[in-house]
Structure 1
Amino acid sequence: MKDSNFLKENNARHMWHPMAHPADSLANPPKIITGAEGVRIRDVDGHEALDAVGGLWNVNLGFSCQPIKEAIAAQLDSLPYYSTFRGTSNDAVIELSWMLRDFFAPDGLTRAFFTSGGSDSVETALRLARQYHKVRGEAGRVKFLSLKKGYHGTHFGGASVNGNANFRTQYEPLLPGCFHIPAPYTYHNPFNETDPAKLARLCASALEDEIAFQGAGTIAAFIMEPILGAGGVIPPHESFMPMVREICDRNGILLIADEVITAFGRTGGWTGSRLWGVKPDMMSTAKAITNGYFPFGAVLLSDKVVEVFESDTTGRAAIGHGYTYSGHPVGAAAAIACLKETERLKVNENAAARGAELFAGLNGLAEKHDLIGDVRGGHGLMCALELVSDRAAKTPIDKATIGKIYEATYRAGVMVRVSGPNIIMSPPLVLTADDVAKIVSALDDGFAAA
Structure 2
Amino acid sequence: MRDANFLIENNARHFWHPMAHPAEMQKNPPKVITAAEGVELTDVQGQRVLDAVGGLWNVNLGYSCQPVKDAIRDQLEQLPYYSAFRGTSTGPAIELSYELREWFAPDGLTRAFFTSGGSDSVETALRLARQYHKIRGERDRTKFIGIKKGYHGTHFGGASVNGNANFRRNYEPLLPGVYHIPAPWPYRNPFGETDPARLAQLCAAMLEDEIKFQSPDTVAAFIMEPILGAGGVIPPHESFMPLVREICDRHGVLLIADEVITAFGRTGAWTGSRLWGVKPDMMTTAKAITNGYYPFGAVMLGEKVVEVFESNEDSFGNIGHGYTYSAHPVGAAAALAALAETKRLDVARNAAVRGDELMDGCLALQKKHDMVGDVRGKGLMTCLELVSDRTNKTPLSKDAIARMFEGTYEAGVMVRISGNNVILSPPLVLTSDDVTRIVEALDAGLQVAAF
**TM-score, length-normalised on structure 2?**
0.99
Alignment of 1:142-181 (within 5 A): 142-181=142-181
Determine the structure 2 residue equivalent to 1:100: 100
Match of 1:363 in 2: 363
Helix, strand or coil for the counterpart of 1:77?
helix
Cα distance in structure 2, aligned partners of 1:256 and 1:83: 27
CA distance in 2, matches of 1:218, 1:411: 53
Q: Which residue type is aligned with residue 42 of structure 1?
A: T
Structure 1 match to 2:406: 407
Alignment of 1:31-430 (within 5 A): 31-377=31-377, 379-430=378-429
**What SS is found at the alignment partner of 2:316?**
coil
Which deviations, in whole Å up to 9, do the C-alpha atoms of 1:365-404 show, x marking residues without a partner?
0000000000011x21000000000001100111000000
- Structure 2 distance, partners of 1:400, 1:292, is 31
Q: How does 1:17-28 map to 2 (within 5 A)?
A: 17-28=17-28
Unaligned runs of 5+ in 1: none
List per-residue Cα deviations over 1:88-122 (Å, max 9, x = no partner): 00000000000000000000000000000000000
Residue identity in the other structure for 2:34: T
Q: What amino acid is the match of 1:182?
A: P
- Measured after TM superposition, the shift of residue 314 of structure 1 is 1.5
TM-score, normalised with respect to structure 1: 1.00
Alignment partners' CA distance in 1, 2:211 and 2:326: 34
Question: How many residue pairs were aligned?
Answer: 449
Q: Distance in 2 between matches of 1:116 and 1:228?
A: 22
Distance (Å, rounded) in 2 between the aligned partners of 1:141 and 1:102: 31
Structure 2 Cα separation of the partners of residues 112 and 56 of structure 1: 23
The AA in structure 2 aligned to 1:395 is T
Taking the aligned partners of 2:106 and 2:355, their CA distance within structure 1 comes to 23
Q: In structure 1, what residue type is equivalent to 2:435?
A: V
SS of equivalent residue, structure 1 residue 13: coil
CA separation in 2, counterparts of 1:208 and 1:76?
49
Measure the CA separation in 2 of the matches of 1:211 and 1:141: 11
The Cα offsets for residues 282-322 of structure 1, whole Å up to 9 and x where unpaired, read as 00000000000000000000010000000001221000000
Query: Greater shift after overlay, 276-285 or 312-321?
Result: 312-321
1: CA distance between counterparts of 2:24 and 2:361?
A: 33
Asked if 1:441 is matched to 2:440, the reply is yes
Structure 2 CA distance for aligned equivalents of residues 288 and 353 of structure 1? 19
Could you tell me which amino acid in structure 2 is paired with residue 237 of structure 1? Answer: H
Per-residue deviation, 1:220: 0.2
Which runs of structure 1 show a deviation greater than 2 angstroms over 4 or more consecutive aligned residues? none
Deviations 1:229-260 (A, max 9, x none): 00000000000000000000000000000000
Matched position secondary structure for 1:316: helix
CA–CA separation in structure 2 for the residues paired with 1:269 and 1:284:
16
Give the partner amino acid of 1:204: A
Aligned counterparts of 1:178 and 1:316: Cα–Cα separation in 2: 23
Equivalent residue letter for 2:103: F
Cα distance in 2 for partners of 1:438, 1:3 equals 30
Corresponding residue SS for 1:384: strand
CA RMSD of aligned residues (A): 0.4
Q: How far apart, in 2, do the equivalents of 1:147 and 1:5 lie?
A: 45
User: In 2, Cα distance between the equivalents of 1:246 and 1:177?
Assistant: 22
Alpha-carbon displacement from aligned partner over 1:172-226 (angstroms, at most 9, x marks no partner): 0000000000000011000000000000000001111101110000000000000
Q: Percent identity?
A: 73
Deviations along 1:38-73, one digit per CA (max 9) or x if unpaired, are 000000000000000000000000000000000000
How much has 1:449 moved relative to structure 2? 1.3
Query: 1: distance between equivalents of 2:419 and 2:446?
Result: 17
Distance in 1, matches of 2:227 and 2:165, equals 19
Q: What's the offset of the Cα at 1:149?
A: 0.3
Structure 2: how far apart are the matches of 1:421 and 1:444? 16
SS of alignment partner, residue 80 of structure 2: coil
Q: 2: distance between equivalents of 1:36 and 1:290? A: 16
